[in-house]
Structure 1
Amino acid sequence: MNWLDFTGASLSLLSTYYFTQARRLAWLVGIFAITLNVTLYWQKGIYGHLILEGIYFISMLYGWFQWSAKATSKPSRAIRYLSWKEISYYALLAASGIILMAQTLSAHTDSTIPYWDASTTILSLIAQWLLCIKIIHCWILWFIVDVLVALLQLYKGLPFHSAVHWLYLIMAVVGYYRWRKLFHQQTTVLEVHAEHASPY
């Protein structure tokens, strides 16, 4: 048993649980998980995910800041949905990114799964960005990513990480419904405040 596989997967799972609850502690736990995962992916030659973990590290710091009161002058950044225009933009970005990264992996590494690796990497980056800015659609992307990554890691001989990603899929569903509930709660609060602030 690879202890990096087990420990990194466990910390990643804990971090994801905190994300489903919209708790800022998720970012700190995630930083520790990334430190272990970088070493693991290097050993296994999963280069796209190695790059991804490095970007995740930066996003953890950014997300920690964005979810803080200092970033918004509010208790926390508000949860929101994407517009159709934004969804179209992100879909185009994803398709372009996957093709470009797959071609790069094919040309410059010994990757045997360039499109699979590229798809999970690019979609994960977009989902992570949406998570940082509290867009509820991030959980829908995580549904897709979790299935693809679980299969990839099983194929690459990482059973603990694969098992955790099946749990991530369940947690993504929980996260979606939890965030939707929080969205409706915050909308109700804003409506009440607006009514009280109105001079009429």
Structure 2
Amino acid sequence: MTLADILDPLQQPLVTALGTPVSWTEVLGFGSGALCVWLVARQHLANWPIGIANNLFFILLFTQSGLYADAGLQIVFISLAVYGWWTWTHGGGPGSSVLPVRSTSRTEWTWLLAAGAVGTLGLTLLLSRATDSTVPFWDALTTSLSLMATYGQCRKRVESWWLWIAADLVYIPLYAYKELYLTSLLYAGFLVLCLIGLRDWRRDLAPHHREDRAVAA
């Protein structure tokens, strides 16, 4: 049995939504993605393995739809998930096994924004010249925003939720344009979960701010 024989059933239509076939891959991506974001909002460690499974489903889905930057992004996400898994369990510093929620520093913002701008420009040019992508800029922009947000998630930076919100606001119409209606709906759900995550992480951020001010005093 070849890899194609194994993957082919996942690519077969399961249901039809708004006149468009929805594959097993998209359904499994929907379910694992929603669960992953909910677990991140609750700061549950299981979000990392669930997220890796979600990335694998989306590699198949995005390759089929010509969203090549998003497909490649999933491979990077898997690497970052391994890093994030480690930092959430070992990044709390001496005497702590839990990584606390923090704000993004000015230095981090400087290099994140610079990297995001360069990445968006470079990927737009690459996708325009080397692929048949019909949405090179938007594919590149969401890729850069997602990478920036994932870094923040790995380090438990509260502002990572704002980056995810920005990405989701582009993803929702982008996937609808590509007729990935279930995935577009999933990202609308992600947007709601991001708002919940932002609220919850900001609550956890407040005690650390008070501790930091007390130490400084």
Fold in common (TM above 0.5): yes
Partners of 1:65 and 1:71 within 8 A in 2: no
Residues 118-133 of structure 1: pairs in structure 2 closer than 5 A: 118-133=140-155
Partners of 2:91 and 2:99 within 8 A in 1: no
Larger strand share, 1 or 2: 2
Partners of 1:79 and 1:134 within 8 A in 2: yes
Instruction: Indicate which of 95, 98, 120 corresponds to 1:76.
Output: 98
Structure 2, unmatched stretches of 5+, are 1-21
Larger helix share, 1 or 2: 1
Which residue number in structure 2 is paired with residue 198 of structure 1?
A: none
Shift of 1:72: 3.9
Which residue number in structure 2 is paired with residue 91 of structure 1?
A: 113
Shift of 1:37: 1.1
> Mean Cα displacement is larger for which, 4-13 or 88-97?
88-97
Q: TM-score, normalised by structure 2?
A: 0.83
Q: Does 1:49 align with 2:70?
A: yes
Q: TM-score, normalised by structure 1?
A: 0.90
Distance 2:145 2:38 in 1: 20
Aligned residue type for 2:89 = S
Shift of 1:11: 0.5
Shift of 1:188: 4.8
Aligned residue type for 2:119 = G
Distance 1:82 1:187 in 2: 13
Which residue number in structure 1 is paired with residue 29 of structure 2?
A: 8
Deviation sequence 1:119-152 (CA, Å, 0-9, x none): 0001101110111011111000011101111111
Partners of 1:31 and 1:60 within 8 A in 2: yes
* Aligned residues: CA RMSD: 2.0
> Mean Cα displacement is larger for which, 180-189 or 26-35?
180-189
Shift of 1:71: 7.0
Distance 1:174 1:161 in 2: 20
Partners of 2:92 and 2:100 within 8 A in 1: no
Q: Does 1:181 align with 2:203?
A: yes
Partners of 2:102 and 2:208 within 8 A in 1: no
Instruction: Indicate which of 79, 90, 94 corresponds to 1:58.
Output: 79
Which residue number in structure 1 is paired with residue 134 of structure 2?
A: 112
Distance 1:70 1:50 in 2: 29
Deviation sequence 1:156-189 (CA, Å, 0-9, x none): 1111110010111111111111001111234456
Which residue number in structure 2 is paired with residue 148 of structure 1?
A: 170
SS of equivalent residue, structure 1 residue 68:
helix
Q: Percent of aligned pairs with the same residue?
A: 26
Which residue number in structure 1 is paired with residue 160 of structure 2?
A: 138
SS of equivalent residue, structure 1 residue 40:
helix
Distance 2:108 2:211 in 1: 26
> Mean Cα displacement is larger for which, 66-75 or 124-133?
66-75
